[in-house]
Structure formats: C-alpha cells, structure tokens
Structure 1
Amino acid sequence: MKTPHSESSEQSGQNNKLELAIGREIRSFRKKMDLTIAELAKLAGLSAGMLSKIENGNASPSLATLQSLSQALNIPVTAFFRKFEEERDASYVRAGQGLVIERRGTRAGHQYRLLGHSVGKSINVEPYLIELSEKSEVFPLFQHPGMEFIYMLEGKMLYMHGNRSYPLLPGDSLFFDADAPHGPEELNELPIKFLSIIVSPRFSE
C-alpha cells in the first residue's frame, strides 16, 4: 500500500529527473558557446552559485529563470526540455496503479484507468484499463477521432459500434474507427475488465 511519504518520494523523483535533464541541457549549451558558469550567470542575471545548482539538478528553475537563460544562450525555452521528452519513451505502471480518468458518463462502478500516454509525438496513444463492476440501464456513447482497439480480459458484454453490436468474451478483441458512436450496450457477466487503446492524431494548437 502506498503511503503519503512514498507518493511524495515518487513525485520528488519525477521532479528531480526533469531538473537533472534541464540542468544537463543548460550545461551542454553553455559549453557549446564556450562560456564559464560565471559568464553565463552574469548574462542571465543570476548568481554563479544558483546557476551551478541548476546545472547539477539541485535547484528547480522558475519559468522566468529559464527565459533569462534562453535569451542569454539565444535558444528557445523549449530546447531545455527536448532531451527529457526524448528520454520518456517508456511508461511503467505498477499493478493497481495508473491515473483514474473521469470520462463522460463515468459513474460508481465504472472506472477508466489511464496506463500511459505518448509525449511529443505526432499521434496520441492512450491505453486504458476499464473496469465495469455495477449494472446500469443507460450507457454513455463515445465518439472521437482516431482508432480504438479493445481486448476483453474478464466478464461478458455486448459492445455497440455504429449500427452493429458485438458479443465480447475474454480473449475477444474489437478494432474500430472511433469516429462512429460506440460503447457498452449490455453487461452480461460482471465484473467486466478490458483494455482499450485509443490512437488519434495530435492536432497542433
């Protein structure tokens, strides 16, 4: 069981990874420009001690500090994050964990747990573990861009896609265009557990 202390330690570990990645990038850009810590610190309006802490991942720079450093190095702020995003090519989630998502129509006994997500790519990939443990007379219909893949792990249900319905048992799968209305139609044997993987284009803002 996770304690508040262990959760805080995990969060701290994630934050430290980001700080270390940013610090490495700042040091790399500084050395490419053949600047000393003192010289870059003066250009950015920082103390040499603070810049040293940032480069070593021992201090979390504010957005204003990153902007000052980016201007001093003549690079975009986003350049400090590129290596961190490139390194995040794996998402490890322990059993029973994952981020619980409130989707439209989510109710007690209907749980959507996000197991990972893509970063900095041209497509979104969202793997969910979905658990339905209570009967319901009305089910939400989903409709969104992209494709979706469902793999049944436990229970039995009738799943609707467009104007067709499919009986799903453990081991069955369904791959479909998510632009058509879809969702559970009948819960035949509870509890129901299935994987849902949604792949969709990432639209630029």
Structure 2
Amino acid sequence: MVESARPDGPSRLVGAEIKRIRAERGLTLRELAERCGLSPGFLSLAERGVNSISLTSLFALANALDVDAAELLGTAGRRSRREYSIARHDDPDATRVVMGEREHRVLTADLPDQRIEALVTAVHPTAGPSPVTQHDGEEFCYVLRGELTFLLADETAVLAAGDSIHFKSRVPHAIHNRGTDVAEVLWTVDRPMLRRSDGPAR
C-alpha cells in the first residue's frame, strides 16, 4: 500500500538511509519485507522516496534493521554525555522531519542504554492509512489533538484528543486519520532492540 504518491526531499533522505542500512545488513528487499511485515513493493517505493512512511511502518523497519527509529530519520549521533536530556518546544535544533502528509518530531536523545523512543507525529487527513505492521515491543500513544483511527487485529478504535492506547506491538496494527483536521499524537515505543545491554532481540 502506497502511503503518499508525492516524493519529497525528506522522504528521499529517509529512503536512502533505509537502503544504506539494508545493504550493510546484506538484506534483499524481500528479506527485509519478511522481517518487518511490509511488502517488497512498498519498501522499493520507500527507498526511492516515492512515498512517505508512517510511524508504525518506521518502527517496524527500525526493529527489522536493528536500529533506532531516530537513525532512519537522520538523527543518529545525538548521543548525550549525560544521563538525561531536555527537549524545548522552541528549540531550533529539534529534529523535525516532514514526509508528505506526515511530520515527525523526535523528542528523545540517544542516551546510554536507551530503552524508549518518543516522537510527536502530525498526520494530515489527506494521508492514507498506514500498512498493517507487527513487531517486537510495545507502544503507547496519546492523542494531543484531532482524531486518529487505530486498526488492531480485528478491532477498530477511534481516539480523540485526550484518549490514549497502549498495546503490544506484535498485535497487527495500523493507523488512519479519517477526520477532517490534522491529528497530532505523542508516540512512545519500547522495543527489546533498544535494550542494548541485552543485545538485539530477534
């Protein structure tokens, strides 16, 4: 399923990063597709920057490639020298990646033994539904504004501002903004692959 048919600069950069890491891992498109639950055709378009990538797809790809989602967005190397980091809303150096009808803002730094990633994502109503994905770990999502539809296995849940959802990432899931306004969500993911002291989960 193509998430956006309009290529843009950030999509091309993220796609190039996915292709680079896939090549480093010695994976074919089909092998990566089997690992992350996305189709080879979708991945081919993503690597060429033809489509934008939803947050659910981004996490699935990061998990399959054994990297942080922030690395796919080009924010690798932001390792903190301290045991904490502070993100200011007006920080000009904050990482914001606009990909088609989606905008991702990375909130977490690369701390030692980091176990979570947090992003704020804005999904425009013109964005199509994300592909269904499933992977290791668990996720928590809090809707800041607008409405967002979650497709979880055989259930559909519509979340409005102030609603939240917490689920195991192995449950097949997808998101879709079926409303008329931009939906903005705070998304936190805890993946076994982030527990560096334990090694990547496979």
Report the TM-score when normalising by structure 1.
Answer: 0.49
Answer with 1 or 2: which has the greater Rg: 1
Structure with greater contact order relative to length (CA < 8 Å, sep ≥ 6): 2
TM-score by length of 2: 0.50
